[in-house]
Structure 1
Amino acid sequence: MIRSTHAVRAAALAGAAALILAACSSGGGDSDDDATEGSTSAASGPLKIGSLLPQTGSLAYLGPPEIAGVDLAIKDINDAGGVLGEDVTVEHTDSSDADNAEVATQSVTELISKKVSAIIGAASSSVTLNVVDDITNAKIVQISPANTATKLSGYSPFYFRTAPPDTVQGSALGNLITGDGHENVGILVFNDDYGTSLRDVVEKTVEDAGGTITYGKKGQEFDPKASSFDSDITALLATNPDAVVVLAFEQTKQIIPGLVAGGVDPKNIYLVDGNTADYSADFQPGTLEGAQGTIPGAFPSDDFQARLKEVDPNLKDFAYGPESYDATILVALAAEKGKATDGETIQKNLAAVSGADGGEKCSSFKDCVALIKDGKDIQYTGQAGVGPFNADNDPSSAFIGVYKYGADNKNVWVKAVEGEVK
């Protein structure tokens, strides 16, 4: 879930075809007849947003760009006059990771006590699954910039995400692998909802294309807390795959050297958003040269990267910064459309301001609010390049970026590919 800092022309991505997703099961994200009305208990005070993003744990590297995305959105909203004439405030809390579940639980309790109307996060699908009931049962909107687990599609009317589900990335990755001519694919997957969800889609896509999964099927996952993954690597290599997919987080730093030492050509290694990271400080030069990885979402333009760095000058990567920015803007627009700042009003209006009902396209909070005040329907088209929410509160369209590693073990954006949800 980490994106290269190398600049890529925004025009290249803009010219890539957007992925159109089919709506899945009904999930309650659609606007209803009272979509532009606040609830009977509508809050009249300033909009307060919470964030539940990783500041500690194995996913801490994801936190800075996501938090910067939220903070930049808050700045843009308030610079444009705030929501309903009052400044928006944000409460940042730590989600940590699934191995430290108590951190997110405590953070959610804190955010509920502070009466936030929406929570941006979590980054980890497993963390979200631990706390989503607490959030949504409190009628607080949860909108994740990075959750991809398929089981979260349509989970609750109060749960949304600005990142596409694994059905999209898994399909794109499987098609990339088979398109490169590979037929026998081994998968090293950790026993985590994120990993197994992606594995299932990659497996189906490869097999549908006539390929074979030699290792990594259900029951062959590895323990993410293990101190060594040598036995897993040995078992995979014994099946003689011509391509290897690594579905993991920090464990990747131990796995890659083992694969290369075992004779795997790095150009036959494939990663995903959870581990397509900058490994220039971790591996010897050339270790990952030619390897590829996929990351959902649009590659941020040079201008947007610069604006994020104004918020956090220490940013080196931008993973899910655009998705975090858009999630925050959408919450504010939903409150504006509903003329109230409580969670129920925001939930009723989120799909509408995303363009689910059609409407005039607008790309900034300021421009979108002007249209809302003129009584017009809108479609917010933000930084992440996703389409309106579908019936499952998932994006209805999305980009999947393909990245390739150079001799310096840094990844560079190459192209966008299409996936499809069926």
Structure 2
Amino acid sequence: MIRRTTAARGLALAAVLSVGLAACSTTTESGGGDEGGSQDPLVVGTILPLTGTLAFLGPPEVAGVGLAVDDINAAGGVLGNDVSLEQGDSGDTTDTSVAQQTATDLISKGVQVVIGAASSGVSLNVVDQFTEAGVMQISPANTATDLSGISDFFTRTAPPDTVQGAALGSLILDGGHQKVAMIVQDEAYGNGLRDNIQEAIEAGGGEVVYGASGAGDEFPPGESNFSGIVNDALAAEPDAIAVIAFEETKAIVTELTSQGWDFNGTTYFCDGNTASYEEDFDPGTLEGVVGTIPGAQAPDEFRDRVSGWYEENEGEALSDFSYAPESYDAVILAALAAVRGEGTDGATISENIKAVSGAEGGTEVTSFEEGVEALEAGDEIHYVGQSGVGPLNDQNDPTSAFIGVYKYDDKNVNVFERSIEGEVAP
């Protein structure tokens, strides 16, 4: 018998913003509950940022994965066996050898599914390794459009940048801005998000006066000297600046401050840098800055549980919850796909993950345990998780998602304001 557990439920209330066309129709899965491949115990690997410029995202993602594994095992495991976890570091795009070595290590340990990476650029460097090994890769945070449909063995629980870009571009226009400078990191994530923001700004009658697509103003990952870049950006006389970067944001803010930029109501961050800077800048430096992070605001019950998991296992409570819901949902979807296909191998998970995400309709479930019960009753299922994303489409992208909008207070802390819902264009 599967033991009954109580899963965190609920989504933040959202203000709806139309940012795309209706979602793509989905293809039929081949699993259908038929006998699958290997039924060895499921081994979940992680390739998440324990070091590097996105290390601030590591704790909530690690905690989301860990809590999901514990919840699955508390509900009886996958096909009668407990799920085990192998953790690994993704590093960042300044040293791609870190992720490549982690991928090699995880494959050698027999993982059938891997959660990560956080950086789209990192995933682009390892997706072929996992595909060739037949390992299902599920990113909780990748948003680059280059990853849409890249492999049958790659999917994500975060939306592509068409959604965040449209939302952020609309927020900039709604702020009354028409001349926008964009300080952009030169890699797949930065360039792709910039292109989508620019498209939204131009569609609304605005102009990108610095950092536009094709202008050649991007900076390399790991850059530390932004004197010339900021000088050139301000020389274009923008009325707003969008910063698309990771850890480099601290140096960018410092340089903007030194050159007299007023951040309040004029500056916009994205998911790569919408973090707390309470310890980094003088109080009030970032007050009024607006940032976006894909994903609905996690319900309080889930935040308490995932923070409790991290404190118990890593010795401290979480201070940031970015992509914890998406990480949790990635593991649950993989486990439900294995149950539906009656196999724990990567191919079976790949063949069944769209169906359990709701691509074929079915009974709405909010936990692994509920999903297993419905599958064992012969039902198709639609897993509605913590992140609020819609069913996967034929590009393995969520068909809809929420974008959280945050505003910085006088302590330089990003405070959640509301959610915007958008759809992924076909």
Which category of TM-score, normalised to the shorter sequence, fits these structures? over 0.9
Give the counterpart letter for 2:251 in structure 1.
Q
| CA drift at 1:220 | 1.1
**Paired position in structure 2 for 1:346:** 349
| CA drift at 1:306 | 0.6
Aligned residues: 409
**Paired position in structure 1 for 2:105:** 110
Q: Is the contact between residue 408 and residue 415 of structure 2 (CA under 8 Å) also seen in structure 1?
A: yes
Say if 1:184 and 1:419 are closer, same or farther in 2 by CA, change over 3 A.
farther
**Paired position in structure 1 for 2:4:** none
| CA drift at 1:224 | 2.7
Helix, strand or coil at the partner of 2:353 = helix
Say if 1:33 and 1:57 are closer, same or farther in 2 by CA, change over 3 A.
closer
Asked if 1:253 is matched to 2:245, the reply is no
Give the counterpart letter for 1:173 in structure 2.
L
Asked if 1:122 is matched to 2:117, the reply is yes
Asked if 1:150 is matched to 2:148, the reply is no
**1:144-172 C-alpha deviation (Å, 9 max, x unpaired):** 00001000001111110000011110110
**Paired position in structure 1 for 2:186:** 191
Q: Name the CA distance, whole Å, in 1 between partners of 2:411 and 2:90.
A: 32
Q: Is the contact between residue 330 and residue 380 of structure 1 (CA under 8 Å) also seen in structure 2?
A: yes
**Paired position in structure 2 for 1:6:** none
| CA drift at 1:60 | 1.4
Q: Is the contact between residue 118 and residue 143 of structure 1 (CA under 8 Å) also seen in structure 2?
A: yes
Helix, strand or coil at the partner of 2:94 = helix
Say if 1:221 and 1:38 are closer, same or farther in 2 by CA, change over 3 A.
farther
Q: Is the contact between residue 224 and residue 248 of structure 2 (CA under 8 Å) also seen in structure 1?
A: no
Helix, strand or coil at the partner of 1:94 = coil
RMSD: 1.8
Q: Name the CA distance, whole Å, in 2 between partners of 1:368 and 1:420.
A: 25
| CA drift at 1:14 | 2.9
**Paired position in structure 1 for 2:274:** 276
Q: Any runs of at least 4 consecutive aligned residues in structure 1 with deviations exceeding 6 A, and if so which?
A: 23-26
Q: Name the CA distance, whole Å, in 1 between partners of 2:23 and 2:15.
A: 24
| CA drift at 1:33 | 4.1
Say if 1:95 and 1:397 are closer, same or farther in 2 by CA, change over 3 A.
same
- Tell me the TM-score normalized by structure 1: 0.93
Which of 230, 233, 236 is the matching residue for 1:233?
A: 230
**Paired position in structure 2 for 1:310:** 308
| CA drift at 1:45 | 1.3
Give the counterpart letter for 2:370 in structure 1.
D
Say if 1:348 and 1:19 are closer, same or farther in 2 by CA, change over 3 A.
farther
Gapped regions of structure 1 (runs ≥ 5):
1-9
Helix, strand or coil at the partner of 2:87 = strand
| CA drift at 1:116 | 1.1
Q: Name the CA distance, whole Å, in 1 between partners of 2:140 and 2:224.
A: 30
Q: Name the CA distance, whole Å, in 1 between partners of 2:18 and 2:155.
A: 19
**Paired position in structure 2 for 1:74:** 69
Helix, strand or coil at the partner of 1:93 = coil
| CA drift at 1:36 | 3.1
Asked if 1:365 is matched to 2:368, the reply is yes
Helix, strand or coil at the partner of 2:169 = helix
Q: Name the CA distance, whole Å, in 1 between partners of 2:351 and 2:106.
A: 21
| CA drift at 1:419 | 3.8
Q: Name the CA distance, whole Å, in 1 between partners of 2:196 and 2:405.
A: 17
Q: Name the CA distance, whole Å, in 2 between partners of 1:70 and 1:134.
A: 21
- Tell me the TM-score normalized by structure 2: 0.92
Q: Name the CA distance, whole Å, in 2 between partners of 1:38 and 1:180.
A: 55
Asked if 1:396 is matched to 2:391, the reply is no
Which of 38, 57, 60 is the matching residue for 2:55?
A: 60
Identity of aligned residues (%): 51
Say if 1:35 and 1:362 are closer, same or farther in 2 by CA, change over 3 A.
same
Say if 1:116 and 1:38 are closer, same or farther in 2 by CA, change over 3 A.
farther
Say if 1:17 and 1:226 are closer, same or farther in 2 by CA, change over 3 A.
closer
| CA drift at 1:420 | 4.7
Q: Is the contact between residue 31 and residue 348 of structure 1 (CA under 8 Å) also seen in structure 2?
A: no
**1:328-361 C-alpha deviation (Å, 9 max, x unpaired):** 0000000001111111111110000000000110
Gapped regions of structure 2 (runs ≥ 5):
1-8
Q: Is the contact between residue 21 and residue 396 of structure 1 (CA under 8 Å) also seen in structure 2?
A: no
